[in-house]
A and B are shown apart, each in its own frame.
Chain A
Amino acid sequence: MPSVPSKAPVPSGAPQAARAGSAPLGQTLTDLIGRTPLLRLERIRPAGNLFAKAEWYNPGQSAKDRAAWRIVREAERAGKLGHGKTLLDATSGNTGIAYAMIGAARGIPVCLCMPGSVTPSRIKILRAYGAELVLTDPAQFSDGAILRARELAAADPERYFYADQYSNESNWKAHFETTGPEIWAQTEGRVRHFVATLGTSGTFMGTTRFLKQKDPAVRCIEVQPDAAFHGLEGMKHMESSIVPSIYDAHLADGRAKVRTEAAYRRVVQLAQEEGLLVGISSGAALDVALRVAQEHPSEVVVTVFPDNGLKYLNEQFWDDTLNK
């Protein structure tokens, strides 16, 4: 196995004042984004060909740090953020946490639209970082939040920079520039199958484009909920949703659907057999990636576990599981 990449100091771009004659000491929050470990799931897949990126090793504890940081960086560079301008977006959670965290660290006000059904603990995390929240009708899923963010942005373009993670090219490019190269390096170019769940689709689009550029034979499989009505937080059923404009339905070599309960069972399995307490979309990713690893026992299969499970411990399925 290649060694786990370290989050080594990245001196470039540090303020001049922090330099004590040479490279600056220490690291900033955004230096810690990316370079997550690649875990080998040995108990669930003893053949040793199934791997997952542990994205909760990012400082905001999810894969969304990567996209949010590139979105903010590009907006700052283009002069769209700064001078008190507020970053505005629709998010069901992890992107919001990433924006709120990065915004706090860089002095950028953040306003987030999200369905009123998000968990109270999620709301507390966002408020703790100082973000302003606009809660929308839960019955409209995340589409209600997207429509509200568009309204706010249109009504006051001077006040807001509408980040629009669903259309922002930086979303998928973040994964093209980081997640993809990391997987390629960590598998020493041996990755043959890549499996990822779709939310905004940024992780899948960017990573897939990079891997296929390195080797067009890498098979890339996208994972969606099996129905419009589902409990796979962070995931999108494309047929019945506002389709993100960064999503290209022709990129995937295969498309798998996961029923919510199957993902829940995999989340419990990961906690109890691998000691990995992960979020629900990780369970969905495993359900498909394990099947691929079993079908191709001698080939390297890589998936992405987008976040850890702490935010989901109050979900009903954990009560149902633990009270059985």
Chain B
Amino acid sequence: MSVVVEIPSALQRFVDQQKQVEVQEGTVKEVFAKLIGRHAGLKEQLFDEQGRIRSFVNIYLNDEDIRHRKNLDTVVKAGDVIHIVPSIAGG
């Protein structure tokens, strides 16, 4: 069983145009490490120079912001869905 990461349209070019990617369970940090291991271009998009999630990037685990849980240490179980929610744009 694995975790589903939903990829917003603005990032799909970094994951071979996929709308979702399946990754093995673990903490959010581990999930993203595996994701970036496969799709290196995502790193600069999602993390700052210090390795923190960029401040406009919101990561939701089953519709709850991980900042309201244990942030990158939040445990993700098989069957969970992670959403990467971008900022809004344009007028």
Residues of chain A touching chain B, judged by Cβ–Cβ distance below 8 Å, are 64, 91-95, 114-115, 117-118, 138-143, 165-166, 199-200, 202, 225, 227-237, 240-241, 244, 260-261, 264, 315-317, 319-320
Contact = CB atoms under 8 A, between A and B. Distances in A.
A137 to B, nearest CB: 10
B56 A315 contact: yes
Contacts of A166: 91
A117 B86 contact: yes
Interface residues of B, number: 22
B56 A230 contact: yes
Given A117-B86, A260-B56, A92 B8 contact: no
A92 B86 contact: no
A139 B6 contact: yes
B88 A233 contact: yes
A151 to B, nearest CB: 18
B91 A236 contact: yes
Contact of B88 (A95, A142, A261): A142
B91 A234 contact: yes
A64 B91 CA distance: 8
Contact of A199 (B13, B83, B90): B90
Nearest to A316: B55
Interface string B68-83: 0000000000000001
B1 interface: no
Contacts of B67: 316
A117 B84 CA distance: 11
Interface of B: 6, 8-11, 13, 45, 48, 54-58, 67, 83, 85-91
Contacts, number: 104
Contact of A229 (B11, B48, B88, B91): B11
A117 B88 contact: yes
A285 B22 CA distance: 39
Contact of A231 (B6, B56, B83): B56
Contact of B86 (A64, A94, A95, A141): A141
26 contacts: A64-B91, A94-B91, A117-B87, A117-B88, A139-B8, A139-B83, A141-B9, A141-B10, A165-B91, A199-B90, A227-B10, A227-B45, A228-B11, A229-B10, A229-B11, A231-B56, A231-B57, A231-B86, A232-B87, A234-B90, A234-B91, A240-B10, A315-B56, A316-B55, A316-B67, A317-B56
Contacts of B85: 117, 138-139
Given A141-B86, A316-B55, A199 B9 contact: no
B90 A200 contact: yes
A117 B58 CA distance: 10
Given A316-B55, A316-B56, 16 more contacts: A92-B89, A117-B86, A139-B85, A140-B8, A141-B9, A141-B10, A141-B88, A141-B89, A166-B91, A199-B91, A200-B91, A229-B8, A234-B91, A235-B89, A241-B90, A319-B55
Given A117-B58, A138-B85, A231-B56, A236 B90 contact: yes
B14 to A, nearest CB: 9
A232 B57 CA distance: 11
A63 to B, nearest CB: 10
A127 to B, nearest CB: 17
B52 to A, nearest CB: 8
| Of B6, B67, B87, B91, most A-chain CB atoms within 10 Å | B91
